[in-house]
Amino acid sequence: METNYRETLQADFDAFDLSEELGFILEEPLTHLPDYYRVWLDLANNLTHLIESRKLRDRVHKMPVLSPHLLSN
């Protein structure tokens, strides 16, 4: 019974690219993004200020919709 559970659990982890140790966190995450995603980085770097000044929602709504095509693992 325990073996079937472990096999099923491992199959689920594999299907969703999950690590038992790290979950969704990448073992070797990107250290920077292409310039195409600068608007995301600018927002992330100013997140605390935008939240405190209650401007985050407006800033997010003004962001362009970006494609994830340049992101890779």
pLDDT digits (tens, 9 = 90+) for 35-71: 999 999 999 999 999 999 999 999 999 999 999 888 8
pLDDT at residue 6 in the model: 82
Does the structure show a pLDDT above 80 at 72? no
Looking at residue 42, its pLDDT comes to 94
Residue extents of the structural domains in the chain: 1-27, 32-73
User: What pLDDT is stored for residue 1 in this prediction?
Assistant: 54
- Contact between 29 and 5 under an 8 Å Cβ cutoff? The reply is no
Please say whether the beta carbons of 26 and 18 come within 8 A: no
1-12: average pLDDT: 79
Kindly report the pTM of this predicted structure: 0.55
